[in-house]
Structure 1
Amino acid sequence: MPDHVLPEMPAEVKKSWHQILYVQVLIAIVLGAVVGWLFPQFATNEWVKAMGDGFIKLIKMVIAPIIFCTVVSGIAHIDDAKKVGRVGVKALAYFEIVSTFALAIGLIIGNLVGPGHGFQGHADAAAVAKYVAPDKQIKSVDFVLHIIPDSVVGAFANGDVLQVLLFSILFGFALMMLGEKGKPVRTLVDDVAQGVFGVIGIVMKAAPIGAFGAMAYTIGKFGPQALGNLAGLIATFYVTAALFVFVVLGTIAKIAGFSIVRFLAYIKDELLVVLGTSSSESALPQLMAKLERAGCSKPVVGLVVPTGYSFNLDGTNIYMTLATLFIAQALGFDLSFQQQITILVVAMLTSKGASGVTGAGFVTLAATLAVVDPRLVPGMAIVLGIDKFMSECRALTNLVGNGVATVVVAWWEGELDREKLDAALHPVTVEATTAIGEVSPAE
């Protein structure tokens, strides 16, 4: 997609520090935390909560059209249909391998640290009843059928990423097969994409307001003391996620030829938006735009990122294995090696079946616990109170995982522009080199 499609991301070097988005969001998060702590009654006002909820709704409003335009345009501009299938297979293979690592590291850390041992508390089955109701159970056949929308309009109206993705892929292939006859429609889709990204540019200006409202409400409602005896689990989860990002994803990034630290610095705006809103979806459009700027081809970005939001949930995977072990330890259950392997297998499936479901983290956890040992399900009440704090880490890890996956698949497919990637991850170095190059001829 041409650079002029992405008006929301002008060069940061030309801005004053207070005009930079991530600085504004960071300040808003700190102010929100202070207001929530000092003025909890004000912070829990419905209008404060609406700031965060409203911003997320604004972003979700354009996710479906962005996925449609990006995927359709990416596929329709490819002459070889085999290439699309090749990218999809490579992406799914990558997702499965890395997801297994995420699940395994959660189990390993959970066994080594044992955050649930010695926990004093009780479980209230009624508190989690809505997450384990029969209609909330995730079955493989239902998941597959759910991907097929009852109507195309319904898929867009409900904002179901998988359903929109399915229709977008089919529509893209249809335009590809039309050849020159489909050119006017391809042009129209590209033009619509420019308009949609323009909307994102406007919406992102409200990111600091959304981050302030979400953080103020969270701290005001739960308070610092809400962490209580469960602080150990939260700390363990954050450390485990950090290990996964810097060790597992860092190693993968190094093999692909880029630095994970540089990459995190490059997407810092998106990370802070996710931190403030606890939703990885809030940064999806911006992430796709930045990955294209970093040299990943449009087809790869259009296929890998939306698919990854349903099939590559690294943070959710770590959460499920770690939370399952914590609950078992807290309730005094000693899970056998076979049961822990069952957690890996079941979680691999359930983590992909909750896309777009309200309370997805708890839905997948309930499905996993029910298979491993039904007696563990009521223990979900133990972690119910801190799920909000853990959801932020899940969202951050998911975002980073999908960003790295896109770069790796683009590199694997030979669709990665190294010069653009280096320019994006090493802006100062590139600017200095350019300046030297401009001066030399004059001399």
Structure 2
Amino acid sequence: MDRKLTLYILLGMLLGVVVGQVLNQTVAADVIKADIAPWFKLLSDIFLNLIKMLVAPLVLSTIVVGIAHMGDSAALGRIGVRALTWFITASLVSIGLGLLLVNIFQPGIGAPIPDVAEATAAVGEVKELKATDFILSIFPKNAVEALATNNILQILVFSIFAGVALSAIGERGKALVTGADALAEMMLQVTGYVMRYAPIAVFGALANVVAASGLSILGTYLTLLLEFYFSLVLLWVILLGAGAVFLGRRIFALIRYIRQPLMIAFSTASSEAALPKLFEQLDRFGVPRRISGFMLPLGYSFNLDGSMMYMSFATIFIAQAYGIDLSIGTQIMILLTLMISSKGIAAVPRASLVVITGTLAMFGLPVEGVAIILAIDQFLDMGRTATNVVGNAVATAVITRWEGMLEVEEPEVVELPHAPSHTAADGRAGLDLDPGNFGDGRG
């Protein structure tokens, strides 16, 4: 089924581009906007709504079960420190690489300058981003509200408290842990049903964009697109190379396993859409659910590598378009501002544009410059969203290996004649490891 689904998604992408381009060339723009585009958008919106329906209960149940089964607060703290160390390092690399390459390529030179009204209407009200507001927003005042709004960061905080508490009360909390475990399994089963609709959603998403704008828009912004995607490729090489240091040849298996969530993220430009399938594929790769259930939600708030690069790239691009020369010191300050203000944006549509707009306003740069990239933001968003998925998959696999808990995903390894000796070497017994051995340094 997995290989068929991959093929169907690819066919949906191709068919969406073809149908969209045909409509763009044969049907009047106002007819497309009023009568056709809403139906294409409906196809993708149904899928996104179904995915959003899964996210909150899936994240809650996986984190609670993972922490409760971990049984060792020291192990949890160690994993958290290692995860945040990796996330911060990856974010700095992503933003720094974007800053370096945009200064080398200078794609903003000669870019078309839009009017203020267009930018204001498209982006909306700009709110000043304060570090204190962000920190306060991490902590939920109402757990039900956090679940209802799919606020992953707040769900993460509540789930950590719940998981640690259930671990502390031991046997008395067993029924709740069992219920959360069953909920996680149920949500994964529902995910399987929803994913069958993915090829149709992919078709609708791409047909909608291409029908409205046509492929010709790519020619106008071809330089920016090529340079940005080249930058993303370099970032992929760095992330996968860093992963290979820990995972060895298994990095190729990881790439194979995440291709489906990768395509879903790319075609829908939604990190949320790929999350349930990413959980499932990392299970198959050999990552215990108690690790992925903690790492992925945390990564969706703190490890958005593609968005990091995009925001540094786009901010300097706009300054270049308006002929504004920024000093290295100012660019570094912009980099650090983006690092802080971008956390927790994964669940917000086009949140990167809002963060960029707020950063421009903070540094006295022309906010209306955001309109320059609005025309192709969908295509830029596809690349940065796929990169977010790659970054979080690599981070989760690396931390699992670092903890010595990575299991074997290929049956033939287990079937070897001397299979019993593999228990210590391949980490198959990861789920049965004594908590005191979590940090045994394997990998």
Query: What TM-score, normalized to structure 2?
Result: 0.88
**2:408 matches 1:412:** no
Q: Name the counterpart of 2:12.
A: 28
The aligned counterpart of 2:21 is: 37
| 1:80-136 Cα shifts (integer Å, max 9, x gaps) | 1111111111111110001100011101111111111122433425523564625x3
Equivalent-residue separation in structure 1 for 2:123 and 2:263 (angstroms): 29
Query: How far has the Cα of 1:434 moved from its partner?
Result: 5.0
Matched, 1:381 2:365: no
Q: Which residue of the partner structure matches residue 212 of structure 2?
A: 221
Please identify, of 147-156 and 172-181, the stretch whose mean Cα deviation from structure 2 is larger: 147-156
Structure 1 Cα separation of the partners of residues 123 and 252 of structure 2: 37
User: Is the CA contact 2:254–2:285 (under 8 Å) kept in the aligned structure 1?
Assistant: no
The structural deviation recorded for 1:208 is 0.6
In structure 2, the partner of 1:318 is 309
- Equivalence for 1:264: 255
Match of 2:125 among 95, 119, 133: 133
Q: 1:354 aligns with which of 342, 345, 352?
A: 345
What secondary structure sits across from 1:333 in the alignment?
coil
Aligned amino acid, residue 22 of structure 1: T
Name the residue aligned to 2:98: 106
Aligned residues: 410
Rate the CA distance shift 1:84–1:318 in 2: closer, same or farther, 3 A. same
In 2, distance between residues paired with 1:103 and 1:177? Answer: 40
Match of 1:339 in 2: 330
1:5 matched to which residue of 2?
none
Q: Residue type of the partner of 1:50? A: L
Q: Is 1:167 paired with 2:158? A: yes
State whether residues 123 and 380 of structure 1, in contact with CA within 8 Å, keep that contact through their aligned partners in structure 2.
Answer: no
- Tell me if the contact between 2:113 and 2:369 (Cα under 8 Å) persists in the aligned partners: no
Q: In the aligned structure 1, how far is the partner of 2:350 from the partner of 2:110?
A: 28
Contact 2:271–2:347, Cα closer than 8 Å, also in 1: no
For 2:13 and 2:325, the matched residues in 1 are separated by 40
| Corresponding residue of 1:390 | 380
The separation in 2 between residues aligned to 1:287 and 1:165, in whole angstroms, is 17
- The correspondence for 2:56, drawn from 64, 67, 75, is 64
Matched residues in 2 for 1:218 and 1:437: separation?
55
Give the superposition deviation at 1:383: 0.9
| Aligned residue number for residue 240 of structure 2 | 250
Aligned residue among 127, 139, 143 for 1:152? 143
Aligned residue type for 2:332 = I
Q: CA deviation at 1:341?
A: 1.0
Tell me which amino acid in the other structure corresponds to 1:391.
Answer: D
Unmatched tracts of structure 1, length 5 or more:
1-9, 439-443
- d(CA) in 1 for partners of 2:123, 2:204: 26
Aligned partner of 1:76 in structure 2 is 68
1:185 aligns with 2:176: yes
Write the letter of the residue equivalent to 1:25: I
1:382 Cα deviation from its structure 2 partner: 0.8
Distance in structure 1 (CA, Å) of the matches to 2:114 and 2:377: 17
> For residue 136 of structure 2, what is the amino acid of its counterpart?
L
Amino acid at match of 1:386: I
AA partner of residue 226 (structure 2): A
CA contact (8 A) 1:69 1:190 kept: yes
**Structure 1 residue 148, shift from structure 2 partner:** 2.2
Moved more, 405-414 or 395-404: 405-414
- Give, in whole Å, the separation in 1 of the partners of 2:65 and 2:340: 30
User: Alignment partner of 1:375: what SS?
Assistant: coil
- What SS is found at the alignment partner of 1:405? helix
CA offsets, 1:270-309, max 9 Å, x none?
A: 1111222111211101111211221222222111101111
Task: Give the Å deviation of 1:257.
Answer: 2.4
CA-to-aligned-CA distance 1:357-390 (integer Å, 9 cap, x gap)? 342011111122223x323322111111111110
CA distance in structure 2 between the partners assigned to 1:120 and 1:130 by the alignment: 17
Instruction: List per-residue Cα deviations over 1:195-240 (Å, max 9, x = no partner).
Output: 1111111111101111111011011111111224322111111110
TM-score w.r.t. the length of structure 1 is 0.88
> Is there any run of 5+ residues in structure 2 with no aligned partner, and where?
420-443
Are 2:39 and 1:47 aligned? Answer: yes
Distance in 2, Cα, partners of 1:133 & 1:214: 26
Relative to 1, partners in 2 of residues 1:361 and 1:44: Cα closer, same or farther, differing over 3 Å?
farther
8 Å CA contact 2:139–2:157 kept in 1: the answer is: yes
Give the structure 2 partner of residue 116 of structure 1: 108
Among candidates 188, 191, 194, match of residue 203 of structure 1: 194
Q: Which residue of structure 1 aligns with residue 389 of structure 2?
A: 399
Separation in 2 of the partners of 1:107 and 1:347?
Answer: 12
Query: What percent identity do the matched residue pairs reach?
Result: 39
**Distance (Å, rounded) in 2 between the aligned partners of 1:144 and 1:60:** 24
Write the letter of the residue equivalent to 2:247.
Answer: G
The one-letter code sitting in structure 2 at the alignment partner of 1:186 is V
Following superposition, the deviation at residue 53 of structure 1 comes to 1.1
Give the Cα–Cα distance (whole angstroms) in 2 for the partners of residues 195 and 315 of structure 1: 31
The RMSD of aligned alpha carbons is: 2.1
* Aligned position for 1:327: 318
Task: Tell me: CA distance 1:173–1:435, structure 2 relative to 1, closer, same or farther (3 Å).
Answer: closer
The residue type paired with residue 28 of structure 1 is G
Amino acid in the other structure paired with 1:77 = H
